[in-house]
Chain A
């Protein structure tokens, strides 16, 4: 702070240090929104009721303004952000996840006696890859652009994870219905648990690690755990979350615990996401 051409108008160091004490405070919270609202109100009056300075309907800015009106943790704000985030994911994301899930359904009848079912593997794999893709900004510098948006990183994270999670749950549910048609002998609860438990568990792990240490670490760990479950399914016993057969009550307990842990990790990561992303991913 301070005058540049001090040669022309010299200020003594003592006066400079005194003047520097008179720092202006930052804009009060909500000042920007109050200004916008007042300008729109005044110009509308001036133009005889015609709305001016309005964000185009359906634009990203309209969504952001609606989102920032509420708390970063309010459902309304997050839902407003889902729509523009859906556009951000791109057609490849939707096509690949559908292809992976369809392959899982088609391959499952051929591998009925295997330790894991492709439909379960597909659902979880699509979710892990989807999370890595949607959180890739924590690795690339685009996260800086996101930080410059007047919304909390927690809102963006929640919006993106919601899209990936709900999209894959919808796909996996559809795949489950198709698999039940192909294999009527399979128990619905076993089939659902064989993908839902690892899906929620790995979502929690990937989200937590991605936000804390970057999306490369998160997706690598997610894929690693997925591969361990796949390769070591015979040796993992009750810890094999993909297993279609729940032999004992311990198996059921492990699945419920895995789902609980996944949800708890997701919530913990989301609550801390604004702070972590401001510090920058640890990569």
Chain B
């Protein structure tokens, strides 16, 4: 559905617009926030908050602005706020082991569920360990670098869209993206070779 019609429907508090918004953006926003936070409960809460803020402030969205970029901008800011608030809290090593075994999403049994798609338990564990390594490497990036990488790689946004989400100039976005990719290559690929 066209986002312009969606925005009009949301302004009018139409039920179909809420349903369409949720169908179109709830899943992608949840995926983005899950990758940002590594916690599915938190990702769901932040997704809900993102959509509520977008709806309650829908009249502030300029006509020439993209709804998608606006939603991701809210989501990104909410995630950053969360990190700021939680910066003093550190995960204990035992938490990390539980996260790996549970698929990193905090929901018990996720690893077991994956095992049911025909993988051996050792393969599931190996894949989870590797995913945890990627998650750790992403967590080692600064918020700004991680954000552009996630938007570009997983959300498949254009540089223009990322510019709109982050509010940073195009040159800055490009340089952040170059840096994030190079840094991850250093951390993941070269570590593997070493």
Set B22, B103, B130: member contacting A35, Cβ < 8 A: B22
Taking a contact as CB atoms under 8 Å apart, the answer to whether A19 and B153 are in contact is yes
Q: For chains A and B in complex, what number of residue pairs have CB atoms within 8 angstroms?
A: 108
Shortest distance between the CB of B26 and any CB in chain A (Å): 6
By beta carbon, the residue of chain B nearest A32 is B22
Set B18, B127, B131, B156: member contacting A3, Cβ < 8 A: B156
**Is residue B181 within 8 Å, beta carbon to beta carbon, of the partner chain?**
yes
**Is residue A4 within 8 Å, beta carbon to beta carbon, of the partner chain?**
yes
Taking a contact as CB atoms under 8 Å apart, the answer to whether B152 and A3 are in contact is yes
CB neighbors of B among A15-42 (8 A): 15, 18-19, 21-22, 24-28, 31-32, 34-36, 38-39, 42
Taking a contact as CB atoms under 8 Å apart, the answer to whether B55 and A19 are in contact is no
Q: How large is the interface on A (under 10, 10 to 19, 20 to 34, 35 or more residues)?
A: 35 or more
Taking a contact as CB atoms under 8 Å apart, the answer to whether A35 and B48 are in contact is yes
Set A11, A32, A35: member contacting B153, Cβ < 8 A: A11
Shortest distance between the CB of B172 and any CB in chain A (Å): 14
User: Which residues of chain A are within 8 angstroms of B14 by Cβ–Cβ distance?
Assistant: 53
Set B127, B135, B154, B158: member contacting A1, Cβ < 8 A: B154
- Contact A43 to B13, CB < 8 A, known contacts A19-B153, A25-B103, A28-B107: yes
Taking a contact as CB atoms under 8 Å apart, the answer to whether B184 and A39 are in contact is no
Q: What 0/1 pattern do residues 122 to 159 of B give for CB contact below 8 A with A?
A: 00000100110111001000000000000011101010
Complex Cα distance, B181 from A18, in Å, reads: 12
**Is residue A52 within 8 Å, beta carbon to beta carbon, of the partner chain?**
yes
**Is residue A61 within 8 Å, beta carbon to beta carbon, of the partner chain?**
yes
Taking a contact as CB atoms under 8 Å apart, the answer to whether B47 and A35 are in contact is yes
Complex Cα distance, B181 from A255, in Å, reads: 74
By beta carbon, the residue of chain A nearest B12 is A52
User: Which residues of chain B are within 8 angstroms of A31 by Cβ–Cβ distance?
Assistant: 26, 30, 44, 47
Q: What 0/1 pattern do residues 123 to 146 of A give for CB contact below 8 A with B?
A: 000000000000000000000000
Taking a contact as CB atoms under 8 Å apart, the answer to whether B56 and A43 are in contact is yes
User: Which residues of chain A are within 8 angstroms of B135 by Cβ–Cβ distance?
Assistant: 22
Query: DSSP majority for the A interface?
Result: loop
Shortest distance between the CB of A28 and any CB in chain B (Å): 6
Complex Cα distance, B154 from A4, in Å, reads: 10
**Is residue A12 within 8 Å, beta carbon to beta carbon, of the partner chain?**
yes
CB neighbors of A among B46-71 (8 A): 47-48, 51-52, 55-56
Taking a contact as CB atoms under 8 Å apart, the answer to whether B34 and A25 are in contact is yes
Complex Cα distance, B30 from A108, in Å, reads: 65
CB neighbors of A among B67-82 (8 A): none
Taking a contact as CB atoms under 8 Å apart, the answer to whether B15 and A54 are in contact is yes
Complex Cα distance, B132 from A107, in Å, reads: 77
Complex Cα distance, B19 from A61, in Å, reads: 10
Taking a contact as CB atoms under 8 Å apart, the answer to whether B40 and A15 are in contact is no
Complex Cα distance, B183 from A231, in Å, reads: 81
Q: Which has the most chain B C-beta neighbours within 10 Å: A11, A35, A55?
A: A35
By beta carbon, the residue of chain B nearest A62 is B15
Complex Cα distance, B134 from A42, in Å, reads: 37
Complex Cα distance, B153 from A4, in Å, reads: 8
User: Which residues of chain B are within 8 angstroms of A11 by Cβ–Cβ distance?
Assistant: 153, 181
**Is residue A249 within 8 Å, beta carbon to beta carbon, of the partner chain?**
no
User: Which residues of chain B are within 8 angstroms of A2 by Cβ–Cβ distance?
Assistant: 153, 156
Set A1, A42, A61: member contacting B56, Cβ < 8 A: A42
Q: Contacts A1-B154, A47-B13, A61-B16 known; list 20 others, CB within 8 Å.
A: A2-B156, A9-B177, A9-B178, A15-B184, A15-B188, A15-B189, A18-B133, A18-B188, A22-B134, A25-B34, A27-B30, A28-B40, A31-B44, A31-B47, A35-B22, A38-B48, A38-B52, A46-B56, A54-B15, A61-B19
Give me 7 A-to-B residue pairs in the complex whose CB atoms sit less than 8 angstroms apart, sorted by A's number. A3-B156, A15-B188, A21-B131, A24-B31, A35-B22, A35-B48, A38-B52
